[in-house]
Amino acid sequence: MVAFGYLVVGLAAYLLGSIPTGFLVARTRGVDLRAVGSGNIGATNALRALGKTAGVVVLVADGLKGFVACTGLCALVVGLLGRVGVPTAELPTYRLLAGLAAVLGHNYTCWLRFKGGKGVATSAGVFAALAPLALLIALAAWLVAFACTRYVSVGSLAAAVALPTAVWLTQNDLVLAWLTTGLGVLVIVRHHTNIRRLLAGTEHRIELRRQPPTT
């Protein structure tokens, strides 16, 4: 019966993570985010295609999916299972499962033929709940890498390496450490097209200052 609890928590978190935020925000403006820019439904492509406001909305919403899956949703489902007499494991175990399922839902959403985002923002939300100190270290790595290169993808790849490293160094939890390592590898794999563009010199930079008009 404990396995049933894992199934319910995992499925609920997957469905929450699978909400294609970027796709839905873009559709309100008559844009199919999969057909513009990089074709990705994440915050970076939303920023480029729809502007700063839409990019921030998608970023925050995708992050909240991971955070809520590990906190409110997880506690709610476990509480409901307990009320109907279903045996459950310890809440921290379910939180780890919920975090993984939410990221997988975002990356492979069932609503878009299992083609979703790259999992950076949703992973950040997960670790805001599970390992906030490690997340701050990864955020610092993202900021430094982005400031030096102006490539969002480079920042994301730096964070994907820094986060599991920070978890291994700051957390006394082997399961969490291995989970973080797996998610970091997944983020890197999901950036394979960005890596190819970086190597080819064709990756898009984010310019923070408006360029002066040419005459």
Q: Where are the domains of the chain?
A: 1-128, 131-208
Is the per-residue pLDDT at 213 higher than 50?
no
The C-alpha R_g of the chain, in whole angstroms, comes to 18
| Residue 215 banded pLDDT, cuts 50, 70, 90 | very low
The better pLDDT of the pair 85, 46 is held by: 46
pLDDT band per the 50, 70, 90 thresholds, residue 189: very high
Alpha-carbon distance of 186 to 120, in angstroms, equals 10
Q: Are 146 and 154 in contact (CB under 8 A)?
A: yes
- Tell me 73's DSSP state: I
Which residues neighbour 180 within 8 Å (Cβ) at sequence distance 6 or greater?
Answer: 127, 131, 134, 163, 164, 167, 168
